[in-house]
């Protein structure tokens, strides 16, 4: 099921897309999905791990340093 189908079938649902997006530029994901990027600082040396939402439901997003290398 694609994102437009989900939105049309469940218009009040909150959609959250999260993961490790190593090769995909943030702007491309935002343009293709229409979702909002809510990670505002690097998760490692760069913005690898990101979270996208369909509506601004989180006021604060914190990036924590991993204990595993």
67 part of a folded domain: no
Residues β-bridged to residue 37: 52
64 part of a folded domain: no
pLDDT digits (tens, 9 = 90+) for 30-57: 998 889 999 888 777 666 788 899 998 8
Question: Is the pLDDT at 58 greater than 70, yes or no?
Answer: yes
pTM of the complete model: 0.78
Q: Which of the four pLDDT bands, split at 50, 70 and 90, describes residue 2?
A: confident
62 part of a folded domain: no
Please, are residues 38 and 61 in contact by the beta-carbon 8 Å criterion? yes
Q: Which domain holds residue 42?
A: 3-53
66 part of a folded domain: no
**Nearest-angstrom CA–CA distance, 25 and 23:** 7
Angle at 44 between CA 40 and CA 49, to 5 degrees: 60
61 part of a folded domain: no
Please state the domain count of the chain: 1
59 part of a folded domain: no
Tokens 């491309």: give the residue: 28
pLDDT of residue 50: 87
């Amino acid at each position: 099921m694609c994102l437009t189908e989900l939105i049309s079938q469940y218009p009040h649902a909150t959609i959250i897309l999260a993961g490790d997006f190593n090769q995909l530029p943030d702007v491309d994901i935002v343009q293709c999905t229409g979702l909002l990027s809510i990670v505002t600082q690097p998760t490692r040396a760069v913005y690898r791990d990101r979270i996208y939402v369909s509506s601004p439901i989180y006021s604060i997003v914190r990036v924590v340093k991993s204990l595993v290398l």
